[in-house]
């Protein structure tokens, strides 16, 4: 298993990367600017995180538990969302919208000063790694979904002209180095979040 083909494939993925960034950014804006309209949905999404955070804080060695749960949660979700993209690309799109809106909503509840503090101390240290990794996972999920759509559409053209199946197989092979990269980067992000971010937030 080598990583060079994956890095080369990133060039072919540039349009998907642009799309996921735009969807995430627009969803962030929706959560920020329309917090009242979506508050019921977003509060429901956050409630589970609040309960989990309180439970972990009460345990012995809370930093270890934060690291373990954060890493496990992000790794499982990121890996799963790639292959759930085979369901016509819908789950990755939903994950992008939900996460963007939640982040925008949380920041909309703060004053300007506390927003900056949250971004600099609570999000930036680990988010600079974690967010791009999740966006890449969603981009590959969307790619697989589009190839499924394309494969279905190409059933009505001559066999020699069908390219989607071969491209789908190629992309699935590239998920092996992609998964290793995602897990390694999320491990690093979880270490930062459970140490540096945890320390900064609890100052």
pLDDT digit string, tens, across residues 35-49:
777 777 777 777 777
Q: Of 181, 174, 185, give the one whose Cα is nearest residue 143.
A: 174
pLDDT of residue 1: 66
Its pTM stands at 0.90
Return d(Cα 70, Cα 72) in angstroms, integer: 6
Structure tokens at 90: 């819908």
| 159-186: b (≥16 Cβ within 10 Å) or e | eeebebeebbeebeebbebbbeebbebb
- Confidence bin at 180 (pLDDT 50/70/90): very high
Return d(Cα 96, Cα 147) in angstroms, integer: 19
Percentage, residues of the chain above pLDDT 90: 60
User: How does pLDDT run across 59-87, given as a tens digit for each residue?
Assistant: 888 888 889 999 999 999 999 999 999 99
């Amino acid at each position: 298993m080598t990583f060079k083909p994956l890095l080369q494939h990133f060039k072919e993925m540039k349009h998907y990367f642009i799309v996921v960034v735009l969807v995430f950014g627009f969803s962030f804006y929706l959560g920020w600017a329309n917090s009242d309209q979506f508050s019921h949905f977003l509060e429901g999404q956050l409630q589970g995180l609040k309960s989990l955070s309180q439970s972990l804080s009460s345990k012995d060695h809370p930093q270890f538990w934060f690291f373990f749960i954060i890493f496990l949660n992000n790794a499982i979700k990121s890996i799963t969302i790639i292959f759930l993209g085979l369901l016509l690309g819908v789950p990755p799109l939903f994950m992008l919208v939900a996460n963007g809106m939640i982040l925008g909503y949380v920041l909309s509840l703060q004053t300007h000063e506390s927003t900056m503090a949250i971004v600099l101390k609570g999000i930036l240290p680990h988010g600079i790694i974690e967010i791009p990794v999740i966006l890449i996972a969603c981009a590959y999920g969307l790619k697989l979904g589009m190839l499924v759509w394309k494969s279905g559409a190409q059933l009505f053209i001559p066999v020699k002209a069908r390219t989607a199946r071969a491209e789908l197989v190629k992309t699935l092979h590239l998920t092996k180095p992609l998964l290793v990269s995602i897990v390694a980067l999320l491990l690093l992000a979880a270490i930062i979040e459970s140490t540096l971010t945890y320390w900064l937030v609890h100052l």
